[in-house]
Amino acid sequence: MAMAAKPIRGMKCMNAEVFLDTNIVVYSFDSGDRFRHERAKSRLNELYSRHACVAVSVQVLQEFFNVMMRKGASPAILREAVECYMWRDVVENTCTLLRVAIAVQQTFQLSFYDANIVAAAQMSGAKELWTEDLNTGQDYGGVVAVNPLV
């Protein structure tokens, strides 16, 4: 397992520029798909090098840890990666997030977990949601889905 560029500690901000979905974080660590791995690492390095405000959610970090554990990654390395992301903006699981996610699910007819990601991106203030799972270019209530791997 190759490590992605570590997020720079202490980069919390009021409004994120980009919200990362789980698949982008996973690809940045998992070299099993070489193209996606290199592309995710490159795009994240671009963000970090210009000190962009990047957000994730507790859900993203939980899913990342779970997926990478199933792929055989070291728990110690994963714990370090999660800790690095916790120094950035992290949208917590709250009742407000749940309410927003339900509204997003009903409005856009998404799966509940995708709606939860969109809701977290909205709550982070991000204008872009980097993901492979949603329609690239679609505006989800002020957050535009972008596939950074293409």
Q: How confident is the model over 73-129, as pLDDT tens digits?
A: 999 999 999 998 888 789 999 999 999 999 999 999 999 999 999 999 999 999 999
What is the distance between the alpha carbons of residues 64 and 60, in angstroms, rounded to a whole number? 6
E strand or H helix that includes residue 55: strand 54-57
What is the distance between the alpha carbons of residues 57 and 123, in angstroms, rounded to a whole number? 10
Q: What is the pLDDT at residue 32?
A: 92
Q: What is the pLDDT at residue 13?
A: 66
* Cβ–Cβ under 8 Å, residues 149 and 133: no
What percent of the chain stands above pLDDT 90? Answer: 83
What are the sequence ranges of the domains in the chain?
A: 18-146
Q: Higher model confidence: residue 48 or residue 11?
A: 48
Q: Which CATH superfamily is domain 18-146 in?
A: 5'-nuclease (3.40.50.1010)
Tell whether the model's pLDDT for residue 7 goes beyond 60: no
User: Taking CA 75 as the corner, what is the angle to CA 146 and CA 116, rounded to the nearest 5 degrees?
Assistant: 35
pTM for this model (two decimals): 0.90
